Amino acid sequence: MWSSFRDSLSDVLGYVGDFLRSDVEVWHLLLGVLLAVVIADMAAAAFVVWWTHRRPVGTAPPQTAVPVKKQTPFVISDKVRWEDTGNYLGGGMQVYGPLCPKDYTPLRYVNHRSTWGESKTEGIGENDLVGEYHGSLICLTCDETYYFNGEGPGKTVELARAEARTRLYGMRNRDET
């Protein structure tokens, strides 16, 4: 086996020697080398393209869809939705809400004890009392009305927010968010 390899190698070297001793002009030799380099580069580029785009047979192409956004951690407390904003600056978790649990729109406060004898819709303040006789929360999209503690005695928005924050802290500590 080694003798046939040695004979083949000596034949190749003999061909190269005969070629170099012949009357070939230098520019022909350089043109041949340049052509060989171009062909080798094209073959290498084709291999790289094939290697990077190959995939096993029967698999789906890679997904190019919009990446899925991680859902905001939330809790339903007092029948309304409260969300963790992800902002922990200033001494603790910031809670956004109250929101309608059906369509996630911010709720408005309806004051039942207005001085004019009629209910009016206004923005929610931390000290607003939400209960059957004091005020309620209303969704302006679906017209659903919400009371803290059901229809019993009211509680302030600040207290309801603190309870939701406590529940969200517990969920985060248990890795449920």
- The closest of 140, 166, 160, 139 to 148, measured between CA atoms, is 160
d(CA 36, CA 31): 9
* Residue pair 157/97 in contact by the 8 Å Cβ criterion: no
Please determine, for residue 18, whether its predicted confidence score (pLDDT) is greater than 80. no
Tell me if the pTM is above 0.85.
no
Which of the 8 DSSP states describes residue 141?
Answer: T
d(CA 83, CA 97): 6
d(CA 165, CA 18): 89
pLDDT in tens, 22-79: 666 766 777 788 889 999 999 999 988 887 777 665 566 566 666 666 678 888 888 8
Which of the 8 DSSP states describes residue 44?
Answer: H
Q: Where are the domains of the chain?
A: 2-53, 74-173
